[in-house]
């Protein structure tokens, strides 16, 4: 019915290293980890990406599960911190089009850099902020 890899993992049709599941979400190890303990938290209900995921209790449950999994990853790996990343859209490097949160444990000098600082003029930042406020009003 679906060609979605994550829906198939959730259904058990594709094997994975699952670490957590409840009636809302499933968490399993990323097969292309950026660091030891790199885990994905995936809502059971399919949505293509975070921008169209249903609002409300879904958000609360996604982030609650994410924090639980992240704390377990810290204990399992001895990491001192973690990044939570939601890639949304192909331009943001989303590869599987099913909403998911990455938990990436972090270690001193692990070489990962989530982003580099860009030199954007203050006026451009202010212009974008004003435009965003129009869409958030």
**3-class DSSP assignment, residue 131:** helix
Q: Which residues, 91 to 130, sit near Zn ion by CB under 5 A?
A: 98
Q: Give the CA count within 13 Å in the CB-facing half-sphere of 126.
A: 3
Nearer to Zn ion, 18 or 46 (CB): 46
Nearer to Zn ion, 7 or 70 (CB): 7
**By the rule CB under 5 A, 7 interacts with Zn ion:** yes
- Sole residue written with tokens 């996604």: 62
> Could you tell me the smallest distance in angstroms from the CB atom of residue 94 to Zn ion?
12
**By the rule CB under 5 A, 73 interacts with Zn ion:** no
**By the rule CB under 5 A, 46 interacts with Zn ion:** yes
CB-based burial label for 68 (10 Å; 0-12, 13-18, 19+): middle
Contact region with Zn ion (CB under 5 A), list: 1-9, 24-32, 79-87, 125-133: 1-9
98 is catalytic: no
Q: Is the dihedral of CA 81, 36, 26, 96 positive or negative?
A: positive
């Amino acid at each position: 019915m679906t060609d979605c890899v994550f829906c198939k993992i959730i259904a058990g049709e594709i094997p994975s290293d699952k670490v957590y599941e409840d009636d809302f979400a499933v968490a399993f190890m990323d097969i292309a980890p950026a660091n030891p303990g790199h885990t994905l938290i995936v809502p059971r209900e399919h949505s293509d990406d975070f921008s169209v995921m249903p609002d409300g209790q879904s958000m609360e449950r996604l982030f609650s599960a994410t924090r639980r999994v992240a704390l377990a990853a810290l204990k399992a790996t001895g990491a001192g911190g973690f990044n939570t990343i939601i890639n949304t859209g192909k331009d943001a490097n989303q590869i599987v089009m099913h909403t998911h949160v990455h938990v990436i444990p972090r270690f001193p000098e692990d070489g990962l850099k989530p982003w580099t600082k860009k030199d954007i003029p203050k006026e451009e930042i202010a212009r974008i902020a004003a435009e965003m406020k129009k869409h958030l009003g």
